[in-house]
Structure formats: C-alpha cells, structure tokens
Amino acid sequence: MPIKSRPIYPGLKLDQRARRHLVAAEGEGALAVLAIFEGKGDAAASATIVYTPGGSAGEDHAEKLADLKPDALHVMPSQETAIVRLNGLLGNAAMGTRLYAAGVEGFIGKVIASGLEHGVDHQSIYTEHCGSLARRVQCVHCKGMTENVTATPFTCSHCGLNLFVRDHYSRRLAAFQGVVVDCETPGELPEIEELYR
C-alpha cells in the first residue's frame, strides 16, 4: 500500500536553463549525480557539489565526482558537516541556481529543509533516492531523532520508549513521527515489521 504522506523522489534531472547547479549528494547518491552530468562538461563546470560518502566510503565515488571537473567539489565527513557547508553555499547563492539532492531519505530531507530555509520551494528541488530505505524518526515524546530506522516498532535512541513509526512525514524536520506503542502494558509489543516491503 503506498504511503500518502511519504515524499516522492522523481529522480535527478539536469535543468539546462539553470545558471548554476548546487548538488548535495550522500553515499550512492553520487551515482545519480554522475549520471546527469555525464558528457555535460559545460553544466559540470557551473556545478558545485557537496558530497558525503556515508556508507559508500569504501568506493571511489568522490574521485569520480572530481573527474566531472565541477566548479567546486566539497567532500565532507558526515551528513551534518555537508549540510553546514550547503547552508553556507545557499546563503550566497543567486536566483538561477538549481538545487539537487541525492542519497538516503534522511539526507534528502535535510537538504530540502535547508532549501526551504533559504526560500527555495521544495517543488523546484530535484531529488533522487539512492541507497538504504531507512527512515529518520522523531520521537514525539522526547523529541529526540533516531536515524536509520528500518523496522517498526523500534526503541527510541534517546528516551528508550518503544515507538511505532507513523506514516506522517514532516518536511520541516525531515523526519517521520514515532509514537509510543506500549503505554498501556509496557513491554507488550506488536510484532516487529520491517518498513518498506
């Protein structure tokens, strides 16, 4: 059953009219970036790429991105540092700059949230989902974020409550909502289901 509030990522597409391309990629998202700039030297020359290898650290994606000869390539150690760098770039960007995001869902969500903060409409951001289907979930009780949630219910990494993952996605927080499941009889949990089957 398709999840209604779950965001849809139509895939990266090079916007030929854009004057500049600001590309944020995580892990396997690098492959989507390579695909759209393949053979497009001019476009690559006006692209700034922020890349964090994530789980793909063993691969040589960063070198391949460098081979595109982008205007600038920033390889960052984590999603957080990548987003900080992206925010700096967005703060100085002019209209005519198109924003792209590729990688795991949590990362795309953070890029979209950064875009929104800089006045970029989420509909004008190109996105492609690559890699793990894990969700980022916010516990509605302690407000703590747990990354890489792949099953429901799960245990909140902050307050330890058993949380059910609701299909409600907050674009601002770039996270799904987790709500306690066993408040009546603590410890009595429904069967654990894997997300996304």
User: Which residues of the chain form contacts with other proteins (CB under 8 A)?
Assistant: 15, 17-20, 90, 93-98, 116, 118-121, 123-124
Residue closer to other proteins by CB (options 46, 157) is 46
Residues 98 and 22 sit within 8 Å (Cβ to Cβ): yes
Least distance from other proteins to the Cβ atom of residue 112, Å: 13
Least distance from other proteins to the Cβ atom of residue 23, Å: 15
Least distance from other proteins to the Cβ atom of residue 170, Å: 16
Question: What phi-psi label fits residue 107: left (phi over 0), alpha (psi between -120 and 50 degrees) or beta?
Answer: alpha
Tokens at 88, concatenated: 């700096």
Tokens at 125, concatenated: 């951001």
* SS3 at position 146: strand
CA distances from 173 to 6, 9, 114, 176, 180 (A): 14, 17, 10, 8, 19
Residue closer to other proteins by CB (options 61, 85) is 85
Residue closer to other proteins by CB (options 1, 95) is 95
Residue closer to other proteins by CB (options 101, 181) is 101
